[in-house]
Structure 1
Amino acid sequence: MRAARKIENKQAEVHISGAETICERKDIDRTASGFIHRALTHPRGWPDRIIVTIEQLYEPPLLIPMLPVRTADTSDPEQALQMVLDTLLRLDVSRKAAVNAMKVLTGKRQMRGAAIIDASSGKRCEPDSLRGVRVSRLGVDANARSSLARMLSRRGINTETVREALTLASKVAAHPSIIAEVCMSDDPDYTTGYVAAPSVGYLRIPNMKLMGSSHGGRVFFLKPGADVEKMIEYLERKAVLMEIRNPQPRT
Structure 2
Amino acid sequence: MIYSVRMRAAQGAAHEDGGRHISGAERLVSRDQIGALTQSMVERAFSHSRGQTDFINITVEAVATENIRRLELLPMTTVAAADVSAGRAAAKAALAAAGVKSPAADAGMERLLALKDSMRGAMLICGVTGQRLDGTDGRGIRVSRMDIDDQNRFAAWLEKRGFTGIHIREAVVLATKVAAASGVIAELCWSDDPEYTAGYVASASGYMRFPQLKPYGVMQGGRLFFIRPETNITELMHYLETQPVLVVTPEEAE
- How high is the TM-score relative to the length of structure 1? 0.92
- 1:219 & 1:226 partners in 2: Cα distance? 15
The amino acid of 1:3's aligned partner reads A
Matched, 1:114 2:125: no
Matched, 1:101 2:111: no
The question of 1:191 aligning with 2:164 is answered: no
Counterpart selection for 1:222 from 223, 227, 234: 227
Residue 243 of structure 1 is matched in structure 2 by 248
Q: Does 1:164 align with 2:170?
A: yes
Deviates more, 1:106-115 or 1:23-32: 106-115
Q: State the 1:248 CA deviation.
A: 8.1
Give the unaligned 5+ runs of structure 2: 1-6
Query: 1:103 aligns to what SS in structure 2?
Result: helix
**Is 1:79 paired with 2:86?**
yes
The amino acid that maps onto 1:197 is: S
Q: Is 1:213 the counterpart of 2:218 in the alignment?
A: yes
Q: Which runs of 5+ in 1 are unaligned?
A: none
Per-residue CA deviations over 1:1-54 (Å, capped at 9, x if unaligned) read: 0000128xxx63211000011011110011111111111000001011011111
Identity, % of aligned positions: 37
Is structure 2 residue 131 aligned with structure 1 residue 126? Answer: no
Which of the pair is proportionally richer in strand?
2
Please report how far the alpha carbon of residue 86 of structure 1 lies from its aligned counterpart in structure 2 after TM superposition: 0.9
User: Which residue in 1 is equivalent to 2:154?
Assistant: 148
RMSD between aligned residues: 1.6
1-structure distance, mates of 2:253, 2:72: 12
2:131 pairs with 1:88: no
CA distance in structure 2 between the aligned counterparts of 1:45 and 1:248, rounded to whole angstroms: 43
Normalised TM-score (structure 2)? 0.91
After superposition, the C-alpha distances for 1:64-114 in whole angstroms (9 at most, x for unaligned) are 111011111113110100011111112221111111211222223332210
Of the candidates 160, 176, 183, which is equivalent to residue 177 of structure 1?
Answer: 183
Distance 1:128 1:242 in 2: 27
Aligned to 2:3: none
How far, CA to CA, are the matches of 2:249 and 2:56 in structure 1? 33
Counterpart of 1:130 in 2: which secondary structure? coil
Among 25, 44, 63, the residue aligned to 1:19: 25
Q: Deviations over 1:142-167 (max 9, x none)?
A: 3xx33321121123323221111010
- Displacement of 1:59 in angstroms is 4.0
- Separation in 2, partners of 1:182, 1:82: 12
Letter in 2 for 1:237: T
Kindly state the Cα deviation for residue 171 of structure 1 after the two structures are TM-superposed.
0.2
